[in-house]
């Protein structure tokens, strides 16, 4: 788990400063070096693609975009999901029923369908649309999780104690419900980041994601897959980065869950 | 230490002999059971007392080979002539359930939830005695009748969750007795039950001990239970037997300081307590409740909903500095009364006045402001404190809410002063509640309630989740604090002795209705209602001369709700019930000297009450 956290930190650092360590940008074309495998030239140590773009820079840049999308989409989902679930669980009754039916209906819609509509309306490659589309899916499960936990917290005696002490509804929610949800939200969010990255990669792979010459890990893998036989490194490099990233997040999430469960029994 | 009274002539009578038993768990510093020697004879009851963690239960679990693997056990355990330690699992299986029965503290978790009582009872009979299915079931039903489970035939088909706590414990006893064991080990058999049920279960055990001449080991921290049932007594501390001997001798002349301390904690009368300051006369009541009715709704089918009265027509008021105890069995509406009085649950009818004001007419904001003066202490000290906050934060919270003008430094100072007052060390301030003991948690709960210097303190069974020593300390703390701050007390408990020490007046509830109200001393000396009398008789006194006789008088019955409402709810259990009790609800009438009672016949028989 510590290793996973360290790996995530390294990858995030790489995404942050990586592009600056190379003279090339993600769209610089180097006509002298087309389709160079890794390790052949000192200028492009991870090789280049068919247009002579530096693979290291493109991968690092793609990593940055994937991470940003993953983290932002998760943040959006957490915000909506927690607010929605907490409100439904706390107020209960008819409002709860309605809010949860909305979640059910959204669940029932295939999310690809939503994304296609959004893409058709706003054009491909719009980062905000992409975020919205992914975020719209993520919060549903979280809302259910948070609602269920709020319901069970609501019946705990310390909540009754807080009300007896004269705290108002919002005060109880803020001081006693939310902090006790924090553990499970943190775990869930950590597990959600890789999910979001996969969604983005998937959309980019389908060509609904970021627009070339921008690159995300998904679009790089997509491009690499087409030349898998002639230039396998174009697939292998971004794919292994993605795998390491996802694995790290998953291990971190599982670890967090164990740690938080142990103290909370 | 040698087991006492082990003489040659009685050697053959010895049922269980434990010598130099040691139990050590890997990784633990000291032995959990450290050289325990004791013996039980046929037809004898051995009481084993001590605080939680003294190794009482462990000793007998080890003797039966019920410890988890990895525990190192050494010593000798003999059941009759047979050495038990080191037997194979198969050999042990022939002993457990067949020759030795065990009753655990919590009948709910020691009964299998998905099997009917009948099935759980018939299984050991069929297995150990080798009876056929039908014969085993017939015998099982006979056993349920013997433990006086009402409607034994129906209980056979019921699942554990369908029975009440007392009925479950009876079923548990029936299972333990199924194969007529020579030895019965009862591990805190009454701790989870309320007074009257405790008395009934103990009376039942006494009866079986007499009739079957079996050995009985009673593990408990209740000296009252020991006084009524045990012949000999063993006091344990930190895995060792520190004192043993005949019950009367140990209780009357305890040799060890520790035994004396435990006995004192078990609470003999109020001499040690500062008398409560006499209350101011005729001040405006701090809390008054009028005609309160609370109903619980439940689904009686797919669409039908029914409701059951949890509280009916309760009218009572509490003056400044006064203390009122509320007593009754579990399910009588005590807790409901506290919650409804504080408006934490909705009442169907009736009104509540706080400091003379009707919260129903106030804004939510004003109500929250008034709550500052009305504080609540809970039964479960751990569950009522937010697990993610530190001790300091927990106690600081009421100040942040109600005295937001206070600066952080002043607040800190007040919090630390309060924590010191309730006897918590500074080292504990940063801890979370799950790192504290039950007694420490309850101190935090008290500090939280008292830091705002409230006018009314509502205590909902504040001691019943604690062990004897913690109970005594918390009791003393509550008495001191309430006298210091001149706070009114609404004290809910099923422990009558405690209410007697702590409260000036007491209110007795039965199935949601008031049955008697009066000054505590009067009420205990001369109860006017037959139910009050039953409650008082059920108190287990730590007196080996009186208690066995009192236990023998306990009548075995259960609180039952009336199928059809109307009339006196208590009449099904009442020895004095007549036709009129079934027709009319007894009126709430004054009996003079501040006493009130709801019984048609109190005048007729109360005179005869003077003799104990």
Beta-strand pair B72-79/B14-24 = antiparallel
CA atoms within 13 A on the CB side of B118: 17
* Cβ contact, residue pair A163, B344, below 8 Å: yes
Contact B186, B154 (CB under 8 A): no
Contacting residues of B for A265, CB less than 8 Å apart: 434
B435 and chain A in contact, CB less than 8 A: no
pLDDT of residue A124: 64
Cα distances (angstroms) measured from residue A88 to each of A83, A102, A164, A173, B434: 9, 11, 22, 12, 29
Shortest CA gap B452–chain A (Å): 10
Residues of B in contact with A264 (CB under 8 A): 387
| Portion of chain B with pLDDT greater than 90, in percent | 18
Q: Under an 8 A CB cutoff, do B387 and A166 touch?
A: no
pLDDT at B1: 40
Alpha carbons B538 and B433: distance in angstroms, whole number: 35
Q: Which residues of B77-110 are buried (b: 16+ CB within 10 A; e: fewer)?
A: bbbeeeebeebeeeebeebbbbbbbbbbbebeeb
Residue of B nearest to A264 (CA): B387
Per-residue model confidence (pLDDT) at position B477 = 87
Domains of chain A, by residue range, sit at 2-11+54-264
Among candidates B365, B388, B397 on the partner chain, residue whose Cβ is nearest the Cβ of A180: B388
Can you tell me the distance from the alpha carbon of B169 to that of B107, in angstroms, rounded to the nearest whole number?
Answer: 5
Q: Which residue of chain A has the CA closest to B341?
A: A164
Q: Exposed, middle or buried, B142 (CB in 10 Å: 0-12/13-18/19+)?
A: exposed
φ and ψ at B22, to 5 degrees? -130, 135
A166:B398 CB<8 A: yes
| Tokens read off for B562 | 């009336």
Beta-carbon contacts of residue B390 (< 8 Å; ≥ 6 apart) = B429, B430, B431, B432
Cα–Cα distance list, A124 to A119, A120, A199, A212 (Å): 5, 7, 15, 11
Which has the closest alpha carbon to B352: B311, B317, B312, B308?
A: B317
- ipTM confidence score: 0.73
pLDDT averaged over 10-residue windows placed end to end, chain B, 612 residues: 43 80 82 89 90 83 83 88 85 85 79 87 84 87 82 84 79 85 88 78 86 88 86 90 90 87 67 44 77 81 74 89 88 87 88 88 88 90 88 93 88 93 90 85 92 91 79 85 86 85 90 90 88 85 80 66 69 80 86 86 60 36
Are A157 and B383 inside 8 Å of each other by CB? yes
Chain A positions touching B384 (Cβ under 8 A) are 157-158, 160-161
A176 contact residues in B (CB cutoff 8 A) = 386
Determine contact, residues B503/B270, Cβ cutoff 8 Å.
no
pTM of the model: 0.77
Residue B533: partners with Cβ closer than 8 Å, 6 or more residues away: B527, B609
Q: Two tokens at B161?
A: 């969750």
A165 touches chain B (CB under 8 A): yes
Chain B residue closest in CA terms to A161? B384
Is residue A182 scored above 90 in pLDDT? no
CATH class of this structure's domain A2-11+54-264: mainly alpha
**Comparison of pLDDT for A78 and B538, the residue scoring more:** A78
Measured between CA atoms, how close is A253 to chain B, in angstroms? 20
**Size (chain A), residues:** 265
Task: Find chain A residues with C-beta within 8 A of B381's C-beta.
Answer: none
Cβ-Cβ contacts under 8 Å, B386 against chain A? 158, 162, 175-176, 179-180
CA atoms within 13 A on the CB side of B334: 28
Show residues of chain A in contact with B339, CB under 8 Å. 160
CA triple A222-A226-A230, angle to 5 deg: 130
Q: Are A197 and A73 in contact (CB under 8 A)?
A: no
Nearest-CA neighbor of A136 among A56, A64, A207, A80? Answer: A80
A180 contacts in chain B (CB < 8 Å): 386-388
Residue B385, chain A, CB below 8 Å: the answer is yes
Which residues of chain B have a CB within 8 Å of the CB of A164? 342, 344, 371, 374-376
Q: Within chain A, what is the greatest distance between any pair of CA atoms?
A: 76
Q: A121 touching B, CB under 8 A?
A: no
**Minimal CA separation from B366 to chain A, in Å:** 10
pLDDT of residue B609: 46
- The verdict on a CB contact (< 8 Å) between A157 and B380 is yes
- Nearest CA distance, B503 vs chain A (angstrom): 23
Minimum distance, in Å, between the CA of residue A73 and any CA atom of chain B: 28
pLDDT band at A37 (very low <50, low <70, confident <90, very high): confident
- Whole-number Å distance between alpha carbons of B501 and B474: 13
DSSP conformational letter for A54: B
Q: What is the DSSP string of B491-542?
A: EE-S-HHHHHHH-SEEEEEETTEEEEEEEHHHHHHS--SHHHHHHHHHS--S
pLDDT of residue B124: 83
Architecture of domain B1-93+183-264: 3-Layer(aba) Sandwich (3.40)
Question: How far off is chain B from A169, nearest CA to CA, in Å?
Answer: 10
Q: How far is CA A27 from CA A45, A51, B297, B504, in A?
A: 17, 9, 69, 87
Closest-CA distance of chain B to residue A49, Å: 53
All residues of chain A having their beta carbon less than 8 Å from the beta carbon of residue B344 are 160, 163-164
Q: How far is A163 from chain B (nearest CA, A)?
A: 8
- For residue A153, give the chain B residue with the closest CA: B386
Task: Check: CB of residue B185 under 8 Å from CB of residue B101.
Answer: yes
Q: Kindly list the residues from chain B whose CB atom is less than 8 angstroms away from the CB atom of residue A170.
A: none
Q: Which residues pair with B377 in a beta bridge?
A: B459
C-alpha B21/C-alpha B83 separation (Å) is 13
Domain B287-503, architecture per CATH: 3-Layer(aba) Sandwich (3.40)
Chain B 180-239, CB below 8 Å of chain A: which residues?
A: none
Identify the helix (H) or strand (E) that includes residue B21.
strand B14-24
Which one of A165, A175, A179, A181 makes the best mutation probe of the B interface by having the most chain B beta carbons within 10 Å? Answer: A165
Query: CB-CB: which of B368, B384, B434 is closest to A166?
Result: B368
Q: What is the pLDDT of residue B606?
A: 54
Residue B2 has what pLDDT? 44
Residue A179 contacts B where some CB pair is shorter than 8 Å = yes
Structure tokens at B481: 């604090």
Phi, psi of B46 (to 5 degrees): -105, 120
Q: Does the beta carbon of B383 lie under 8 angstroms from any beta carbon of chain A? A: yes
Q: Report the candidate in B599, B499, B503 with the shortest Cα–Cα distance to residue B539.
A: B499
- Name the segment(s) of chain B with CATH classification 3.40.50.300: 1-93+183-264, 287-503
- Indicate left, alpha or beta for A254 from its phi (over 0: left) and psi (-120 to 50: alpha): alpha
Q: What does DSSP say about strands B183-187 and B100-103: parallel, antiparallel, or unpaired? A: parallel
Query: What confidence score (pLDDT) does residue B273 get?
Result: 44
DSSP labels for B424-450?
A: --GGGTT-BGGGS-HHHHHHHHHHHHH
B277: tokens are 């300051």
Which tokens belong to B395? 């106690």
Question: Which residue from A minimizes the CA distance to B396?
Answer: A165
Task: Report the share of chain A in percent with pLDDT over 70.
Answer: 91
How many residues make up chain B in this entry? 612
Between CA B25 and CA B34, with CA B29 as vertex, the angle to 5 degrees is 65
Hey, of B387, B433, B435, which one would you mutate to test binding to chain A, going by the most A CBs within 10 A of its CB? B387
pLDDT of A265 strictly over 60: no
């Amino acid at each position: 788990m510590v290793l996973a956290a360290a790996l995530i930190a390294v990858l995030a650092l790489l995404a942050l400063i990586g592009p600056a360590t190379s003279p090339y940008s993600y769209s610089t074309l180097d006509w002298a070096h087309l389709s160079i495998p890794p390790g052949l030239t000192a200028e492009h140590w991870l090789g280049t693609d068919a247009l002579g773009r530096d693979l290291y820079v493109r991968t690092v840049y793609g990593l940055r975009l994937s991470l940003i999308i993953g983290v932002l989409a998760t943040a959006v989902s957490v915000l909506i999901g927690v607010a929605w679930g907490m409100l439904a669980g706390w107020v209960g009754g008819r409002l709860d029923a309605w809010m949860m039916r909305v979640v059910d209906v959204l669940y029932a819609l295939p999310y690809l369908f939503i994304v296609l509509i959004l893409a058709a309306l706003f054009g491909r490659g719009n980062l905000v649309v992409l975020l919205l589309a992914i975020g719209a899916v993520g919060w549903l499960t979280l809302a259910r999780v948070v609602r269920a936990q709020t319901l069970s917290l609501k019946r705990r005696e310390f909540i009754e104690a807080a009300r007896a002490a004269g705290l108002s509804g919002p005060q109880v929610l803020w001081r006693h419900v939310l902090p006790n949800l924090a553990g499970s939200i943190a775990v869930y969010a950590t597990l959600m980041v890789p999910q979001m990255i996969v969604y983005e990669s998937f959309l980019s792979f389908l060509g609904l994601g970021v627009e070339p010459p921008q690159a995300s890990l998904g679009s790089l893998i997509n491009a690499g897959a087409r030349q898998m036989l002639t230039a396998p490194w174009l697939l292998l490099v971004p794919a292994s980065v993605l795998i390491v990233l996802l694995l790290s997040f998953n291990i971190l999430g599982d670890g967090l869950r164990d740690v938080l469960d142990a103290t909370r029994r | 230490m040698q087991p006492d009274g082990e003489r040659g002539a009685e050697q053959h009578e010895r049922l269980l002999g434990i010598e130099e038993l040691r139990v050590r768990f890997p990784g633990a510093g000291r032995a959990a059971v450290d050289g325990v020697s004791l013996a039980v004879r046929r037809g004898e009851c051995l009481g084993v007392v001590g605080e939680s963690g003294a190794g009482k239960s462990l000793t007998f679990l080890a003797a039966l080979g019920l410890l988890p693997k990895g525990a190192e056990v050494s010593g000798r355990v003999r059941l009759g002539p047979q050495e038990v330690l080191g037997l194979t699992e198969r050999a042990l299986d022939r002993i457990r359930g067949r020759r030795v029965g065990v009753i655990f503290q919590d009948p709910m978790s020691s009964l299998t939830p998905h099997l009917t009582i009948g099935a759980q009872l018939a299984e050991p009979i069929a297995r150990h005695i080798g009876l056929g299915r039908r014969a085993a079931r017939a015998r099982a039903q006979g056993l349920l009748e013997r433990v006086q489970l009402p409607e034994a035939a129906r209980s056979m088909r019921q699942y554990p969750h369908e029975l009440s706590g007392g009925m479950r414990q009876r079923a548990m006893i029936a299972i333990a007795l199924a194969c007529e064991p020579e030895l019965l080990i009862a591990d805190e058999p009454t701790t989870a039950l309320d007074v009257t049920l405790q008395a009934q279960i103990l009376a039942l055990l006494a009866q079986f001990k007499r009739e079957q001449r079996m050995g009985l080991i009673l593990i408990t921290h209740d000296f009252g239970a020991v006084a009524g049932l045990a012949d000999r007594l063993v006091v344990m501390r930190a895995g060792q037997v520190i004192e043993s001997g005949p019950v009367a001798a140990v209780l009357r002349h305890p040799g060890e300081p520790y035994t004396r301390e435990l006995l004192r904690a078990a609470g003999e009368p109020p001499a040690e307590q500062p008398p409560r300051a006499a209350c101011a006369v005729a001040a405006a009541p701090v809390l008054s409740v009028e005609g309160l009715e609370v109903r619980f709704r439940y689904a009686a089918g797919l669409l039908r909903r029914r409701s059951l009265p949890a509280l009916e027509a309760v009218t009572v008021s509490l003056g400044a500095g006064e203390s009122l105890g509320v007593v009754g069995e579990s399910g009588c509406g005590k807790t409901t009364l506290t919650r409804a009085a504080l408006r934490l649950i909705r009442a169907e009818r009736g009104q509540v006045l706080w400091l003379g004001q009707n919260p129903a007419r106030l804004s939510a904001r004003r109500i929250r402001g008034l709550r500052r003066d009305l504080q609540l202490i809970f039964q479960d000290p751990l569950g009522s404190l937010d697990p993610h906050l530190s001790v300091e934060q927990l106690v600081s919270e009421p100040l942040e809410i109600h005295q937001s003008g206070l600066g952080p430094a002043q607040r800190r100072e007040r919090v630390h002063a309060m924590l010191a007052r309730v006897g918590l060390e500074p080292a504990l301030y940063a801890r979370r509640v799950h790192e504290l003991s039950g007694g420490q948690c309850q101190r935090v709960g008290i500090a939280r309630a008292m830091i705002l210097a409230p006018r009314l303190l509502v205590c909902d069974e504040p001691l019943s989740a604690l062990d004897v020593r913690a109970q005594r300390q918390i009791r003393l703390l509550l008495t001191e604090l309430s006298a210091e701050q001149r706070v009114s007390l609404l004290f809910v408990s099923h422990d009558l002795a405690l209410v007697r020490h702590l409260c000036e007046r007491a209110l007795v509830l039965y199935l949601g209705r008031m049955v008697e109200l009066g000054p505590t001393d009067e009420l205990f000396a001369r109860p006017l209602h037959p139910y009050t009398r039953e409650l008082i008789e059920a108190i287990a006194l730590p007196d080996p001369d009186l208690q066995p006789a009192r236990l023998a008088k306990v009548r075995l019955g259960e609180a039952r709700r009336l199928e059809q409402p109307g009339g006196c709810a208590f009449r099904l259990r009442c020895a004095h019930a007549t036709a009129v009790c079934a027709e009319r609800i007894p009126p709430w009438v004054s009996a003079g000297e501040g006493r009130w009672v709801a019984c048609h016949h109190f005048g007729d028989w109360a005179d005869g009450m003077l003799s104990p």
